[in-house]
Structure 1
Amino acid sequence: MSELDRQIDIVVIGAGPAGAVAASLLNAKGHNVLVIERQHFPRFSIGESLLPQCMEFLAQANLLDAVHRHADQHHFQHKNGAAFVHAGRYSEFDFRQKFSDGHGTTYQVQRAPFDHILAQETERQGVEIIWGHTLVNIDQDTSPARLTVEDEHHQTYTISAQFVLDASGFGRVLPRLLQLDRPSNFPSRTSLFTHIEDNISDDGFDREKIRVTVHYQHKDVWFWLIPFAHGRCSIGVVARSEFFDGRDEDLNRRLADIIADEPSLKTLLANARFDTPAREITGYASDVSQLWGPNFALLGNAGEFLDPVFSSGVTIAMKSASLAADVLDRQLRGQAVDWEAEYAQPLRAGVDTFRAFVEAWYDGRFQDIIFASQQSKEVRAMISSILAGYAWDTNNPYVKDSEHRINVLAELCRLS
């Protein structure tokens, strides 16, 4: 690339969902946006079960129609809820029966084509994406910020940008370059997963819901089963790292053995064909000392990632993109903004709601709630809203006062 010292309003690092939403929103407001993406799409990514709240953000960014148009071609599976299984017990939530306003359905997607669709539509709207380039240094103490970028031939060039949005996900570009990483307070866990031809013949199996199975012996070990629309699914197990100690070193055999040891999955997947190499991610929980600073802000997983249990990652990423785009647009138009009050605090409020439910999942309180024999229809609707991604709806008592209400409800369920 021959350009040196390009003058750009906004540089977005990463062309995934957060980057695409942020870039599309800011481009629509008339700003000059450049996206720098290290990889070439399509490429594999995890996080395949979207939440209905995502549809709101895709619509805001004028990306939703493109997703709908390509859904059948790429076997996106309509999703209307979540099902939970443990030792013969079954509970399901229909996201259309929720407390909050907004979409009640979404898709379960293979992320390679999904992310590619969003990126292509972002480009079609007029945003430039530079593929195969990596941000290797940033001087964000200057105004504008000065970025050093390396292309695939290891040639470097510089870009001057008024603002940088880091949507690099687990690549966590700015946290590494600016030393913003700090230890997460979540225990280190490992995800082991793959895609399979599921061959599920059970007529009672609902392909329009993600299925979360709690290990029959260990309540803090769980499996996801995410069906796609062409007889395939994503399946994985999440556990503390020590759960995998002493097991087969071959990841494919290890995962197959663990699934075969779980009675309900062994029956459901009796005819499944494991035809894709398994993958493993360890210690994925992450946090940072700050979500914004001079000339930059962190979006989605570049800032904080909790846990995959409620599929909140893509929703949080898109919410962060929507919030940041609004604040940044006003800033670049000369208005006074407060990134802490208008971006970091509102974003963390919803993340903290998810955090309360994730913590309650692993210590068993939320499992006691969802598998309780007697359940209030009104309370189920409130919980369904959070599972559907509406973790910023403060009209919902289980958003406004998550920890206290979870504690009270779990105690009532245990006594019933």
Structure 2
Amino acid sequence: MTNSDTNANTNYDVIVIGGGPAGTTTASLLAQQGWDVALFEKTEHPRFHIGESLLPMSMPLLKKLGVYDQIESIGQRKLGASFFSETHDQHKSYLFKNSLTKDTPHAFQVKRASFDATLFHACKKHGVSCFENTQVTHCELNAEKPTITVLHKIKSKDNTVITKEKIYQSRFIIDASGRDTFMASKYKIKQANPKHRSAAIFAHFSSATEFPELSSGNIGVYWFKHGWCWLIPFSDGTVSVGAVCSPEYLKTRRGNLDQFLRDTIKLCPKLTTHLNTATLINQAQATGNYSYLSSKIYGKNYLAVGDAFGFVDPVFSSGVHIALRSAFKAAETIDICLKSPKQQEQALKSYSKFVQRGIKGFAWMIYHMLSPSFQHLFMNSKNTFRVEEAIISILSGDVFDNTQVRSRLFLFQCFYHIHKLFHTLKR
């Protein structure tokens, strides 16, 4: 057990619910600013998690957190993203060095168990009181100070696990509970994304064959009839493979999940050739309709960070980057709220706009990912008006502040609608 002493302080400036990238990053930054912070994680690191492909725009953030060298030591260097289309019988690689800014040429593929554990241990080094195996069961925001009720799981000397309930107070609460969406569920403000319905099935494999087109460590994205598959190579030679598809397709499964994943992979011939002799090293997992958003990202003395607010789709590896970037903004916002309560509402509104702008930067491309017109333009992109550079910038995660990216994305959207209209009229 790595819990801080459960008999210690119960009164903090900030309480963070969740020990993933969003929670640990926000907590670390606030502790560095001098605030007394406690973080509660319901499980224990290391633990498996999906979302293993990082983006270049996260690299400066990892350096600011002081963990870049550690992530580099466990990561597979990733220079771009490669897309494969059976319809077009071709593949297209986008290299990060060709983005609009040219200053973030790589990222890493990482196993999230190691990545998250690295951020968690850094969080402890920054002075955060970190509790693992601690489930937050209740939160009360209407009191003078917000309070949470938690269940600590404590292992005794004879390895018996006992549960201890305890109440903590703070001036501000951060919901970084990921897909648990603690606050959104509590206030019933979470809803399935009406613009996007997807499910996923995934696992890790060993002994995949070499693939020269991915020798740089690129993520591979393979379109197929019911959605798309990913392949993520790790530094130890194993790979992560998954399929994103409609919930209806997932319901067609007959038999065990491992075989259903293999059958789905067979719908992508180019991916199949690399996995014919591969060995499944963990049981396949599935998640149902996972695309959701909350109607509010903040409330009285709390805000949500990362997946606790919403999640769209893993196709452009946006999840971890949005978590990290919004965590930096969240720490800045909470610092203002605690120091200048009169500026709290303005600061929280600014935070909300910032995060939603970032999500919107990915969302349009995600929503149109399966459209034939989108696939045609994506596989045959040209750098007219620097549009291809803007696409690469989006793939790099440059979606929060760069107005050049947004203006050129608008041009790509125009090209898309023209192409779609042309082929509609041609029929």
> TM-score normalised to the size of structure 1?
0.92
Indicate the residue corresponding to 2:159 in structure 1.
Answer: none
**Whole-angstrom distance in 1 between the partners of 2:303 and 2:99:** 32
Q: Equivalent residue for 1:158?
A: 167
Q: Distance in 2 between matches of 1:101 and 1:165?
A: 34
Which of 48, 53, 57 is residue 49 of structure 1 equivalent to? 53
Q: Offset at 1:136?
A: 0.8
Deviation at 1:334, TM superposition (A): 2.3
For 1:178, the equivalent position in structure 2 comes to: 187
Over 3 Å counting, the alpha-carbon distance change for 1:77 and 1:377 in structure 2 is: farther
Deviation at 1:43, TM superposition (A): 0.3
**Alignment partner of 1:330 is 2:336:** yes
Query: 1:27 aligns to what SS in structure 2?
Result: helix
Deviations 1:319-361 (A, max 9, x none): 1111110011122122623144320011101111111111121
Mapped partners of 2:211, 2:67: distance in 1? 35
Matching of residue 363 in structure 1 with residue 371 in structure 2: yes
Comparing 20-29 with 369-378, greater Cα deviation is found at 369-378
Give the 5 Å matches for 1:2-401.
3=7, 6-68=10-72, 71=73, 74=74, 76-87=75-86, 88-100=89-101, 102-152=103-153, 153-215=162-224, 218=225, 221-334=227-340, 336-337=343-344, 338-372=346-380, 374-376=382-384, 378-396=386-404, 398-400=405-407
Question: What is the CA–CA distance in structure 2 between the aligned matches of 1:82 and 1:377, rounded to whole Å?
Answer: 21
CA distance in structure 2 between the aligned counterparts of 1:32 and 1:383, rounded to whole angstroms: 41
Q: CA RMSD in A?
A: 2.1
The answer to whether the 8 Å contact 1:392/1:399 transfers is no
Kindly state the Cα deviation for residue 412 of structure 1 after the two structures are TM-superposed. 5.8
CA 1:182 to 1:257, structure 2 compared with 1: closer, same or farther past 3 Å? Answer: closer
Question: Contact 1:21/1:57 (CA < 8 Å) preserved in 2?
Answer: no
Structure 2 vs 1, CA of residues 248 and 207 (structure 1 numbering), >3 Å: closer, same or farther?
A: farther
Q: Closer, same or farther in 2 for the Cα pair 1:199/1:181, shift >3 Å? A: closer
Shift of 1:182: 2.5
3-state secondary structure, aligned to 1:265: helix
**Aligned-pair distance for 1:411?**
4.7
Instruction: Supply the distance in 2 between the matched residues of 1:20 and 1:41 (Cα, whole angstroms).
Output: 12
205 and 214 in structure 1: CA distance in 2 versus 1, 3 angstrom threshold: same
Query: Percent sequence identity over matched residues?
Result: 28
The SS at the match of 2:280 is coil
- Assess if the C-alpha contact under 8 Å between 1:4 and 1:159 holds in 2: no
Change in Cα spacing, 1:65 to 1:126, as seen in structure 2 (3 Å) is: farther
Q: Which residue of 1 aligns with 2:156?
A: none
- Tell me how far apart the structure 1 counterparts of residues 77 and 64 of structure 2 sit (CA, whole Å): 20
C-alpha distance in 1 between matches for 2:408 and 2:104: 23
Cα distance in structure 1, aligned partners of 2:366 and 2:412: 11
Please report how far the alpha carbon of residue 406 of structure 1 lies from its aligned counterpart in structure 2 after TM superposition: 3.0
Q: Distance in 2 between matches of 1:408 and 1:145?
A: 48
Mark the runs of 5 or more structure 2 residues left unpaired by the alignment: 154-161
Matched residue count? 406
* TM-score, L = length of structure 2: 0.90
Shift of 1:372: 1.6
- Kindly provide the amino acid, as one letter, of the partner of residue 83 in structure 1: S
CA shift, 1:274, in A, is 2.0
Instruction: Quote the offset at 1:288 in angstroms.
Output: 0.9
Tell me how far 1:224 sits from its aligned partner: 0.3
What does the per-residue CA deviation read over 1:206-261, in whole Å, with 9 as the maximum and x for residues that have no partner? 3421000001xx2x510000011122100001110222343332001111112123
1:11-63 deviation digits (Å, cap 9, x = unpaired) = 11111111111011111100001100000000000000011111122223333
